[in-house]
Amino acid sequence: MGNFFRGIIRASSFFRKEIFEILRQPRLVATLVLGPFLILFIFGIGYRAQSRTLRTLFVVQPSSPIAAQDVQEYGKSTGSLLIYAGVTGNQNEALDQLQRGQVDLVIVEPGDATSTIKNNQQAVFTLYHHEIDPVQVSYINYLGWLYADVVNQQVLRSFAVQGQKDAVNLHTSLQEAHQNVSAMRQAMQSGDETLAQQKQQGLASNVDAVSQAVGVSLGLLDSLQQTKGTNGGNANPVKSTLTDLRQNTNQLSDSTGTKDERLVRLDKIDKDITDLDGKLAEFQSIDPSIIVSPFRNETKSIANVQPSISDFFAPAVLALLLQHLAVTFAALSIVRERDVGTMELFRVSPLSAAEALFGKYISYMVFGGVVAAILSILLVFALHVPMLGNWWNFTLVIAAVLFTSLGIGFAISIVSQTDSQAVQYSMIILLASVFFSGFIMSLDMLWEPVRVISWLLPTTYGTLLLRDIALRGIDPNWALLGGLIAIGLVLMLISWRLMRRLIASSQ
């Protein structure tokens, strides 16, 4: 029998031994398979994709220009984010309630907003909270921004409503101007210069009135068109029309022009008045809410499915579990051989480090593969997690995650002196994976040098690759997969060198 075949037999001894030892612990196997499945299942049914609702007490100073009624309305405008818990004029009492946990948020309205704004400064809403969770603090900051935006919109809306009311008077002025233009044209054609002068003065008066009123009403429309970029390259079309209108009106009084020139100018004036009137009608027809908040957003994904939150986490859970399983099993494997004393037997026997490692790699790969298969089937067919991609690619990524994780585990096991040391190292790897692998937060949120840690963890690769395959239905990023396997090969080489030293060398 050849040495190669004997080597295979020696390696197989570990394969059988490890598998038998694992199967002698059915509760462990059941926990490994059912644990993550149940966690995802409960998370899936328990997770509510709703923002937190905060019981909010408002503090309105007696000097505030904002009425208590308005405050309630503002609170309702934020949707279900705030629960209106009342208005009080006593800030200390409100903060006491916050301290006692009777409310979640206290919003103090600015007392002297009018004078602050007149002084060219923004008035400030102060939000008091009792949170220590940075995520919740960010949420409250966002809520404060949202609340100020709601109030600002309400203020702008009232301006728009006022502008639309003023536009009625503007329309009257434009009608009068139109009538003066017609009367002036008739007077000029009939040679009644005196009447024409009279009508020209009336027209000038009308144009002045329009110029003053348009700042409030048509100015808003002008800004809207400017924002939309629908004004044909003219930055301020209403203002430009008004300027033309005033110039032409003033030049009508210039007696040096010929009659025909004045009639042409009169036609231009008439056209500008009609134009302005048309814009005015357009402005009046627009809902004030649209004028102050003309844009909203809609998001549409080009992905094939829009996964639920538990679907999204399923590949990450699978990757993390497999990494932890492989790291822990491998980490305990060799350190236990040392504890039991078998290492002494191995040193005397013809067993080589490569054979021992090969046998252990294969056994844990097979075991991890079986766990992954059962878990994947449960996720896809019981929890209905989408599986849009290729199962072979999925299997390849699982195998790569297991292979590299085993490398980490074996390296830990060889350098550990005791069981508890190996477990501690494994737990550190798990903790690092939770924070740095993109499991709970995107890698983009990490400082770039810190991402080096992320790219040393198999879970990082597993999460990204399995999500691509299962949820996007695309092929894995081969460069990433290659990187993962390369790390695994380096770790295997290190483990082999360490194991060789452990088995082959004497003390």
Partner 1 sequence: MALASPSEPSQLQPVQVKDSVISAQHLTKKFGDETAVQDVSFDVPRASIFGFIGPSGSGKTTTVRLLTGVYTPTDGQVLVFDRSPAKFSQGERARLGYMPQLFVLYPNLTVWENLNFAASLYGMGLFRGKRLKKALTFVELYEHRSKLARNISGGMLRRLSLAATLVHDPQLLFLDEPTAGIDPVLRRKFWDHFRELKNQGRTIFITTQYVSEADNCDLVGVQNNGKLLLVDTPRGIRHHAYGGDMVDFRTTQPFDFQAEAMLRSLSFVRAKTVRTGSNSMRIIVDQASTATPELMGWAQQQNIQVQAVEEYMPSFEDVFVELVRREVSHG
Residue numbers at the binding site for partner 1 (CB under 8 A): 1, 3, 5-7, 9-10, 12-13, 16-17, 20-21, 24-25, 340-342, 344-352, 505-507
- Please, what is the minimum distance in Å from the beta carbon of residue 53 to partner 1? 53
- Taking the least distance from each CB to partner 1, the nearer of 17 and 157 is 17
Structural contact between residues 396 and 481, judged by C-beta atoms closer than 8 angstroms: yes
- Please, what is the minimum distance in Å from the beta carbon of residue 322 to partner 1? 23
> How many other C-beta atoms can be found within 10 angstroms of the C-beta atom of residue 121?
10
- Please, what is the minimum distance in Å from the beta carbon of residue 367 to partner 1? 15
- Taking the least distance from each CB to partner 1, the nearer of 14 and 283 is 14
Alpha-carbon torsion, ordered 259, 265, 269, 275, to 10 deg? 140
- Taking the least distance from each CB to partner 1, the nearer of 31 and 122 is 31
- Taking the least distance from each CB to partner 1, the nearer of 13 and 227 is 13
Q: CA 110, CA 115: separation in Å to the nearest integer?
A: 11
- Please, what is the minimum distance in Å from the beta carbon of residue 3 to partner 1? 7
- Taking the least distance from each CB to partner 1, the nearer of 82 and 503 is 503
Q: CA 357, CA 365: separation in Å to the nearest integer?
A: 12
- Please, what is the minimum distance in Å from the beta carbon of residue 25 to partner 1? 8
Helix (H) / strand (E) element for 105: namely: strand 105-108
- Taking the least distance from each CB to partner 1, the nearer of 120 and 507 is 507
- Please, what is the minimum distance in Å from the beta carbon of residue 507 to partner 1? 5
Q: CA 442, CA 467: separation in Å to the nearest integer?
A: 13
Write out the DSSP string of 393-417: HHHHHHHHHHHHHHHHHHHHHHH-S
- Please, what is the minimum distance in Å from the beta carbon of residue 418 to partner 1? 17
Tell me how far CA of residue 170 lies from CA of 157, 211, 226, 249, 359, in angstroms: 19, 9, 22, 17, 91
Cβ neighbourhood burial of 484 (10 Å; 0-12, 13-18, 19+): buried
Q: CA 115, CA 135: separation in Å to the nearest integer?
A: 35
Residues contacting residue 172 through CB under 8 Å, at least 6 positions apart: none
- Taking the least distance from each CB to partner 1, the nearer of 111 and 359 is 359
